[in-house]
């Protein structure tokens, strides 16, 4: 089945409110139709743009990194103390 047929099938089914199996999704960056090889992106270029945005700090996960690290350290120490293991590492 070609891309055009898949799009027509997806549009017809979407009108009925049901997504067909293997429905074509939209690229989160440019909103073009995606291909399975690069999903969820439409191309290698969009995939690399997204990676660059993460690496360069354009995208961030909210929260104070220091608080997250301290909490993880405390949890690991508690697990170690409860488990009676030789050490946390």
Superfamily of domain covering 3-83: Erythroid Transcription Factor GATA-1, subunit A (3.30.50.10)
Per-domain residue ranges of the chain: 3-83
Assign 4 a pLDDT band (cuts: 50, 70, 90).
Answer: low
Q: What is the pLDDT of residue 23?
A: 64
pTM for the model: 0.45
Q: What is the pLDDT of residues 56-75, one digit of tens each?
A: 988 888 777 777 778 888 88
Please list, in sequence order, all residues whose beta carbon lies within 8 angstroms of the beta carbon of residue 87, skipping any fewer than 6 positions away: 80
Contact indicator for 41, 34 with CB cutoff of 8 Å? yes
Q: Which ranges of the chain would DSSP assign to H, the alpha helix? A: 3-15, 44-55, 65-83
- Residue 1 has what DSSP assignment? -
């Amino acid at each position: 089945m070609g891309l055009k047929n898949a799009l027509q099938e997806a549009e017809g089914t979407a009108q009925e409110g049901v997504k067909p199996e293997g429905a074509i999704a939209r690229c989160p960056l440019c909103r073009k139709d995606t291909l399975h090889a690069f999903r969820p992106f439409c191309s290698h270029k969009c995939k690399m743009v997204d990676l660059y945005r993460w690496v360069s700090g354009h995208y961030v996960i909210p929260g104070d990194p220091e608080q997250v690290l301290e909490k993880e350290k405390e949890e690991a120490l508690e697990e170690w103390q409860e488990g009676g293991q030789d050490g946390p590492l």
